[in-house]
């Protein structure tokens, strides 16, 4: 079943798309900072009464640590999905990463050799969302990274772009409500 078919058939579902809390770095094994650990507790407080029965996270340590307090409080295990990892903008450090990122939102096929375009990352993220929507749970917390989060939002609502990425916080949460006749995307973290 294609993602589009999955979206049309899987209604009355809630997705909480979450950007990880503040981390000590960008590497996959980077831990949360002390502030990030505190933010993870606040995130758990905020999400605790939302009816979440499934948690799926990027395998990066900062993403898993961000949702661990909620997982413990709800007794819901954390599933990891490599399709939720951060977009690879470049394999090597680049001095103009900000310009490259901005330009990639104008040209979704733009990529540095060996890295991912926005289109490639979006398709990867959509695979994870499709799998979640096909599961029996109705309310799922999805933990990912800033660039991929915006790409997922853009799939559901074309208005999202680079400026929304710039406005993201650590953490951040958007609710995607798949209702009978419409899909509603709303930022719920402030």
Identify the helix (H) or strand (E) that includes residue 185.
strand 183-187
The pLDDT mean for the chain works out to 92
- Residue 42 in 3-state DSSP? helix
**CA pair distance 180, 10, nearest whole angstrom:** 9
Residue pLDDT, tens place only, 94-146? 888 999 999 999 999 999 888 999 999 999 999 999 999 999 999 999 999 99
Identify the CA nearest to 171 among candidates 22, 12, 3, 2. 22
User: What number of CA atoms fall less than 13 Å from residue 91's CA on the CB side?
Assistant: 5
φ/ψ (deg, to 5) at 166: -60, -30
pLDDT at 114: 87
Quote the tokens at residue 187: 């930022």
pLDDT < 50 positions in the chain: 1-3, 5-8
pLDDT at 5: 43
DSSP assigned state of 82: G
**CA pair distance 29, 27, nearest whole angstrom:** 5
**Positive or negative, the Cα torsion across 18, 19, 22, 26?**
positive
Q: Do 98 and 105 form a contact (C-beta atoms < 8 A)? A: no
Q: pTM here?
A: 0.92
pLDDT at 93: 84
- Residue 186's DSSP bridge partners are 175
Q: Which domains does the chain have, with CATH numbers?
A: 3-88+118-187 (3.40.50.1240)
pLDDT at 68: 98
pLDDT at 180: 82
Identify the CA nearest to 75 among candidates 56, 58, 54, 59. 54
Length of the chain: 190
**183-187 and 54-57 strand pairing:** unpaired
């Amino acid at each position: 079943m294609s993602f589009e078919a999955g979206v049309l058939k899987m209604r009355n579902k809630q997705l909480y798309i979450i950007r990880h809390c503040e981390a000590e770095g960008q590497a996959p094994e980077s831990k949360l900072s002390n502030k990030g650990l505190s933010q993870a507790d606040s995130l758990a407080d905020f999400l605790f009464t939302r009816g979440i029965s499934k948690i799926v996270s990027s395998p990066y340590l900062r993403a898993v640590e961000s949702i661990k307090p909620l997982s413990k409080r709800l007794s819901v295990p954390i599933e990891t999905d490599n399709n939720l990892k951060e977009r690879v903008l470049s394999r090597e450090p680049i001095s103009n990463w900000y310009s490259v990122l901005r330009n990639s939102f104008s040209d979704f096929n733009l990529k540095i050799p060996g890295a991912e375009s926005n289109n490639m990352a979006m398709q990867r993220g959509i695979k994870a969302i499709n799998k979640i929507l096909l599961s029996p749970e109705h309310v799922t917390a999805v933990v990912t990274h800033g660039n991929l989060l915006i790409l997922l939002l853009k799939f559901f609502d074309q208005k999202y772009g680079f400026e929304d990425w710039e406005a993201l916080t650590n953490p951040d949460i958007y609710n995607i409500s798949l209702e009978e006749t419409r899909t509603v995307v709303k930022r719920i973290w402030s």
